[in-house]
Amino acid sequence: MDNRQFMRFSQLLVTTICHDLAGPLGGISNGVEFLQETSENPVGLSQSLDLLALSSREASFKLQFFRIAYGIIYDESQMVDITEIQSLVDKFFMEKRITLGWHIPGAITHIDHPSRQLLVNMILLMGKLLQEQGTIDVLLYPSEGKSRMEVRGRMPVMKVNEKLLAMLKNENAMRDVAIDTVHPVFIRLLAHTHNRNLQVGIQPGVLTLHA
């Protein structure tokens, strides 16, 4: 990756994060305006407070999620409780048309920070691949060293974002990256950085990411 590619990729990634946060932050702004206009109206007051609560909660969940998904890790050797990851992901997908299933053996209670970062990105990407609908199953398998991770997406009639899927398999992804395909490129780089082999499996009604 040359300097120009690196700069373009960084700009696209930051733009994507800002775009994802613009919705709930805009909702907070609208809620404040609505509150000012309807403060004397009990019904309007209730609606504006509901909008503020919903938007601020969504913004908070997204910020927490993005900090883990995209933020720097200061101590990669530190282990993270699986239940913390589960709670973070469940909150992020709370308002989406996705059902989450967690299939984690009792022997796995913690994973390291790099694995956590890759796992939440695999789940986030699967949500985008499924166009934010269907079922996502998260599976961890004991292995020597690092736990093996699998994120499985299921739909009765599979409707995959083919553009994202193609970019995930594209060997020249960095050259072809665009604003709507930056996440597959990021997750490939992330897996490579953490010495993980990211693989894609496709079967009727099921899409799987392995690492």
Judge if 91 and 193 occupy the same domain.
yes
Q: Which residue has the higher pLDDT, 87 or 158?
A: 87
User: CATH number for the domain including 204?
Assistant: 3.30.565.10
**If we measure between CA atoms, which residue out of 86, 37, 38 comes closest to residue 65?**
86
**Same domain? 95 vs 190:** yes
pLDDT higher for 89 or 175? 89
Per cent of the chain over pLDDT 70 is 99
Same domain, 101 and 66: no
Please tell me whether residues 134 and 167 are part of one structural domain: yes
Distance CA 2, CA 209 (A): 28
Are 63 and 92 contacting, i.e. CB atoms less than 8 angstroms apart?
no
Encoded tokens for 165? 């899927």
So what's the pLDDT on residue 5? 86
Looking at residue 182, its pLDDT comes to 94
Higher pLDDT, 104 or 6: 104
How much is the pLDDT for 87?
96
Which helix (H) or strand (E) covers residue 13, if one does? helix 3-38
**What's the pLDDT score for residue 173?**
76
Same domain, 32 and 51: yes
Domain that holds residue 40: 3-70
Q: Tell me the three-class secondary structure of 39-103, residue by residue.
A: CCCHHHHHHHHHHHHHHHHHHHHHHHHHHHHHCCCCCCCCEEEHHHHHHHHHHHCCCCEEEEEEE
Q: Indicate if 32 and 119 belong to the same structural domain.
A: no
Which has more confidence, 174 or 131?
131
The pLDDT > 90 percentage for the chain reads 64
Final residue of a domain: which of 49, 70, 91?
70
**Do residues 101 and 198 both lie within one domain?**
yes
88 and 189 housed in the same domain? yes
Rounded Cα gap, residues 31 and 48, in angstroms: 5
What's residue 78's pLDDT? 84
Q: Are residues 94 and 144 in the same domain?
A: yes
Looking at the structure of the chain, the number of domains it has is 2
Instruction: Give residue-wise pLDDT tens across range 111-146.
Output: 999 999 999 999 999 999 999 999 999 999 988 778
Residue, of 63 and 45, whose pLDDT is higher: 63
Q: Calculate the average pLDDT of the chain.
A: 91
3-state secondary structure of 201: strand
For residue 35, what pLDDT is reported?
Answer: 83
Q: What is the tens place of the pLDDT at every residue in 178-207?
A: 999 999 999 999 999 989 999 999 998 999
- Which of 15, 46, 70 is the last residue in one of the domains? 70
pLDDT digits (tens, 9 = 90+) for 66-108: 999 999 866 777 899 999 999 999 999 988 899 999 999 988 9
118 and 161 housed in the same domain:
yes
**pLDDT class for 110, splitting at 50, 70, 90?**
very high
Task: Kindly give, in sequence order, each residue whose CB lies less than 8 Å from that of residue 113, ignoring residues fewer than 6 positions away.
Answer: 73, 75, 76, 77, 78, 80
Full DSSP string of 116-173 = HHHHHHHHHHHHHHTTSEEEEEEEEE--SSSPEEEEEEE-SS----HHHHHHHH-TTH
Last residue of a domain, one of 47, 70, 93: 70
The domain spanning residue 62 has which CATH number? 1.10.287.130
Asked whether residue 59 falls in the same domain as residue 100, the answer is no
